[in-house]
Amino acid sequence: MDSILLSILSTQFLSVSLNILAYIDPGTGSIILQALVASVVGAAIAVKLFWHRILKFLGIRKPANTDPSEKPGDNKK
């Protein structure tokens, strides 16, 4: 009995036509596309700016100053 009532109610629910007054116009689609492109370009620029730090963090590249006794600006000529 419960399954028959459930099937009747679900059929009635699905047969109701809803008026949906929302759509995505070309301007909105363009803004979404611009946001996606901007996020990809921003991520690429961030990786480019921090590329050497990323390589050092991963252990692929060693720091430039490997001698701890040498200080920056110390000229030994």
35 in any annotated domain? yes
pTM for this prediction:
0.47
3 in any annotated domain? no
6 in any annotated domain? no
24 in any annotated domain? no
The Cα-based distances of 21 to 18, 24, 41 in angstroms read 9, 10, 34
Condensed to tens digits (0 to 9), the pLDDT of residues 5-20 reads: 888 877 777 766 667 6
Q: What is the DSSP string of 18-53?
A: --------HHHHHHHHHHHHHHHHHHHHHHHHTHHH
8 in any annotated domain? no
1 in any annotated domain? no
- How many domains does the chain contain in total? 1
Condensed to tens digits (0 to 9), the pLDDT of residues 9-57 reads: 777 777 666 676 777 788 888 999 999 999 999 999 999 999 888 888 8
Domain that holds residue 34: 30-63
71 in any annotated domain? no
69 in any annotated domain? no
